[in-house]
Structure 1
Amino acid sequence: MIVFASLAALIAVIAGLFIARPLAREKHGAPIALVTTGAIALAAFMIYFPGAEPGEPGQPHSATVARLIEADPSTLTLEEQEERLRALVRREPDNTQALAMLGRLLAATERELEAVSVLERALRIEESARTLSDLGQTLVTLNEGEVTPAASRAFERAYELDPALPEPAFFLGLRAYQDGDREAAARYWGAIIAQLEPGDPFRGAIAARAADLLSRPSAGPALGAGGEAAGEAPFADLDPGEAEAMVAAMVDRLQARLDENPDDFSGWMTLVRARATSGQREAALASLAQAQSNFDSEPRRVMLSALARALGLVPVSGAQQDEETR
């Protein structure tokens, strides 16, 4: 393409010199002639360039675009899919489906800022729960996992339009969790689990993620295997006996709070995790059994079962593993 465009420019230079030759003879006309020649050459190059196709000299760009538009998207490379969508948007500026798909592709290829712009453009034409959810997720990625107010608004509107769409409910739950409202988070995540069919992989993934987040201590580091903090050592300056005493005191305080407020779902999950990761297996099983007795709704039992599996605990009597997460 560049070779032919350059040839076109060369021809234009010759033509420009011929056209500008009379100007060059005039006093102070040489600069004008030079500018005129350059302008003609540039114009010729720009006229040729859009119609050329890389690797296929002489093939009109419009033919390539037509081929991409008519092609099965699954047979195209990622770059061809993007060019196809951009061509569709140029041809049909109000094609919200093409805009939404282009926005998703840009987000998937880590071009979040452009993706936000494209998705917002689609939403100005027509609201869609899926596009709103895509916009919210892109904003979360752009802000390193934080569910910002702008993302929250997108998820809230998506949830209004389609409560059955799982992603908005998940991220609204995550926002509640980040705001410190664990009960609201559990309700959002439980609603997703309740509406998804047994065997749906997304159901198991939501349960596992909810179990992980809701079982983390609300203050201080999360405990890892053996009672140590995940990724850090908060008791590194203490001897083993002192560290064990501090963990035991934390667990005792949590148990006392749950005796006063047995409806604290996240509190029970935290207690099970703290005891299991501190090596108190039997105590962890007893706490798990109590939690399963307190919360008999299917979604919450699914989350408790996911926690038990993650901690390597054997399900207790009356707590059958949820069918889709076996």
Structure 2
Amino acid sequence: GGPGMGLGGAAAPSRGARLIASVAVLAVPLLSWGLYGVLGSPELPSQPLAERLAKNPADSSVDELVARAEAHLAANPQDGKGWDVLAPVYLRLQRYPDAVTAYRNAIRLDGGSAARQAGLGEAIASAAGGIVSADAQEAFDAALKLDPANAKANFYLAVGLAQEGRKAEAVAAWQKMLGGLAPDSPWRNAVQQALAEAAAPAVAANPPANGPAAQQVEDAQQMSPQDRQAMIETMVAGLDDKLKQNPRDEEGWMRLIRSYVVLGKADQARDALGRAVAAFGADSEQAKKFTAFAASLGVTATE
């Protein structure tokens, strides 16, 4: 990459850096797998890609699809469209350095769209443990030149302000952003959560890297009951949304079930258990684990 801030601090990120880990709901819906049709590579035998794609994406092996795309791009490195398709998938799979490379290739070959520049910024920041470095800021600024309303770029630039200690400016940026978002925008949760964390330093001081964990729920006892409830519900709703988009997240389901129990929402906890079991299949090892975990919290399946 080009010049950037030293990332020595990335191993023990500041509160601001952690904001990304605990707040940013990746608002890219899990990629439309149909796009992989453009990446069929005839040298790879086995079941035709179309048949695999006809299955529910949760049943297809993402690794298999990614490997196929990688083989195609190894043979056709100038296929900008291919890099463009793969970049957000790498981001979703948390393969951040690969995402940086893929976005840079897509931009080099097909030009810098706002979505590509914002994706590149997110990949750079994520690879650095959530630090919005100078390199990441440059990519987000490029995105906003092309589309001043780009939600991802606006969100992360505000995270960068918070990390620099410019909290009031960050809050103002998020509030302004909230005013312009569509009611159903997936970024609404992330912004509300960021604002809740900015307003609740006691909770944000040391959030675990994995979102609304029980510890945060317990730390939140210091807030007023209304604020606390609003913040927790926002975080849990964000986690729930994430799992709708990416149901193969074992840890995530256990956090969600536990969060609903902590909130006293037994029905939602039961519903989450049912969805978790369905995501992995009733006979899977994971389903056994979810059921035992839920039972330890006093939640049993509806069937």
TM (norm. structure 2) is 0.48
Q: Highest Rg: 1 or 2?
A: 1
Higher relative contact order (CA 8 A, sep 6+): 2
TM (norm. structure 1) is 0.45
